[in-house]
Amino acid sequence: MKLSSNRKRLLKILIGAAVYAFGILYKTDNNIVALSIYLVAFIIIGGDILLKAVKNIFHGQIFDENFLMSIATIGAFAIGDYSEGVAVMLFYQVGELFQSYAVDKSRKSITSLMDIRPDYANVQRDEALEKVDPDEVKIDDIIVIKAGEKIPLDAVVVEGTSTVDTSALTGESVPREVFQGDNLLSGCININGLLTARVTKEFGESTVSKILDLVENAGSKKSNSENFITKFARYYTPAVVIVAALLAIIPPLVLAGATFSDWIYRALVFLVISCPCALVISIPLSFFGGIGGASRSGILVKGSNYLEALAQTEIAVFDKTGTLTKGVFKVQEVVPDNIPREELLELTAYAESYSNHPISLSLKQAYGKEIDGARITNVEEISGHGIIATIDDKTVTAGNAKLMRKLNIPFGETDGVMGTVVHVAIDNVYKGYIVIADEIKEDAAKAIHDLKEAKVKQTVMLTGDAKLIGEKVASQLGLDQVYTELLPGDKVQKVEELLAGKSPRGKLAFVGDGINDAPVLARADIGIAMGGLGSDAAIEAADVVIMTDEPSKIAVAMKISKKTLRIVKQNITVALAVKAVVLILGALGIASMWAAVFADVGVALIAILNAVRILNVKRFR
């Protein structure tokens, strides 16, 4: 529909241009004939503008661009510049056509970035597969996802294995393997296998709907630059029109030798450039492009205002567990005492095999082999201390220092060790210890490094963990400050203190996993939640959601933000500068109406093309 209306416009412009060309080539001394030819061309080209102008006046809309263009071009006719009147209208229309085409094109390219909406779902009903709208699928329905199809709703696999492409949601290019019992997130693409799954959320509540909703509504929270331009536009147009009116009347009355036709022409130049469209179009377009580009990298930004604020991040505050570390316990060190390392690990894993405590699980994982239950007899768990188990006729005692003291087993002090220590004794003889701790994420150090490179002044870590552990992690990662042994309430207070200490223009970003730090996320200037995939709490509480588990994405988000702001600034500066220059030259009688048309639509086009550059997000990977 859009295209056909654009084609109609193009056709009108071409016919009008042909008549206009005829008017120029057909040189006649007869003024009436010349005027008629130009008028025909003018009406073919700009008739709809004149009509809209008249209609809008009746609707109480003066000073809109149609009205201004009409006055400017009719004015040109009135002072005898027929040819110029037609030319200005012609160029204005060509510019508008290009502009409409460019906006359409960029709208499409941005929305295609977010082309994750599934069109249908294959639902199993009475032994048959039915293709239905995802909206009609209910919780607990069984759906089938074939290779190459989008996963339509959040579901859990009941049958089949496959690899799933999550890149549309996370920007992560490595596909994920899924097996029976794994969660499937809507919006991902099933690459090869056939999956049968049970729906866990209705379409409206599914990940894909939430994300689309979020990105599409991101524009409703407007940035300062957008607000500035809207305000500016409100005063700019009337101001220029008033100046134009004064310009047309006063100088000819005051200055000796000044003619009305000369000064009216100058006033008309003013009218042509009085529309603020270039600015008003290019700025939301730039922000929307930035938000679209970020979402393609797995970063959801909830509004232009947050995208704008990211660039001004002065203090980055991190939660430790789940944000900089994986939040998963892992065996870090096995320190045997007079026993082979493997044997110590094996016996400890066996002793702990009946427990589901994260520490026991990490021991089993480190051991890595199947546990043969027949070897274990007599397991006794001493709450708050540890376990005593009989394995292959050996009595294995595994637990903390308290357990060793209780049983009067002499053991080595481990005060300097980070993490949880499991002491092990066999037949009441001390055999060493195993250290279990949370693991730092692979890209955590890079995340801090990149932030410093992006001129973030302070990096701070807040943790409820012990001083020793917190400080070691902080020094490993190169964080500037660390506050340890904090209760959840203390974190809010620390953030308040940091907020008080920053410069007025700088922003404080808090990065957490969104699980129990919602109050801190809300208090910070920018709340960033990590690992948002599938976590509703994180998506709701934060201003920015990082879909993957990578803290290094924060620096990426800042880069996108900075690039967006740079383009916004370029557009504002170029548009204002060109307009100002043409206004001044126009007042001096140097700039023609042609220059004014360029200042109006030409600059708008340049601004749009500039804004579209943000979509080139590959550079941020």
Interacting residues toward other proteins by CB under 8 A: 2, 5, 52, 55, 59-61, 64-65, 99-100, 103-104, 107, 110-111, 216-217, 219-220, 222, 230, 233, 275-277, 280-281, 284-285, 288
How near is the Cβ of 68 to other proteins at its closest, in Å?
12
Q: Is 388 left (phi over 0), alpha (psi -120 to 50) or beta?
A: beta
Least distance from other proteins to the Cβ atom of residue 13, Å: 16
Residue number, 61 or 428, with CB nearest to other proteins:
61
Nearer to other proteins, 185 or 279 (CB): 279
Sign of CA dihedral 145, 149, 155, 161: positive
In whole angstroms, the minimum distance from the beta carbon of 117 to other proteins comes to 13
229 or 521: CB nearest other proteins: 229
CA dihedral over 27, 32, 35, 39, signed as positive or negative: negative
- Residue 319 falls in the annotated catalytic set: yes
Of residues 65 and 84, the one with the C-beta less far from other proteins: 65
Q: Which among 81, 319, 465, 549 is annotated as catalytic?
A: 319
DSSP character string of 95-129: HHHHHHHHHHHHHHHHHHHT------EEEEETTEE
Q: How far is CA 233 from CA 71, 281, 303, 471, 620, in A?
A: 20, 11, 22, 52, 33
Structure-token pair, residue 536: 């509703």
Query: Least distance (Å) from other proteins to the CB of residue 287?
Result: 9
Least separation in angstroms between residue 534's CB and other proteins is 25
* Residue 333: φ, ψ to 5°: -150, 135
Nearest to 309, CA basis, from 530, 544, 571: 544
Give the Å distances, CA to CA, from 283 to 73, 309, 592: 29, 15, 28
Q: Specify the 3-state DSSP secondary structure of 419.
A: coil
Is-contact 241 63, C-beta < 8 A?
Answer: yes
Handedness of CA 470, 471, 476, 480 (dihedral sign): positive
CB-nearer residue toward other proteins: 106 or 535: 106
Tokens linked to 324 = 């900089």
Q: List the end-to-end C-alpha distance of the chain, in Å, as a whole number.
A: 37
Output the CA angle 454-549-440, nearest 5 degrees: 80
* Shortest Å distance, C-beta 221 to other proteins: 8
Kindly tell me which of 229 and 398 has the beta carbon lying closer to other proteins: 229
Q: Give catalytic residue positions.
A: 319
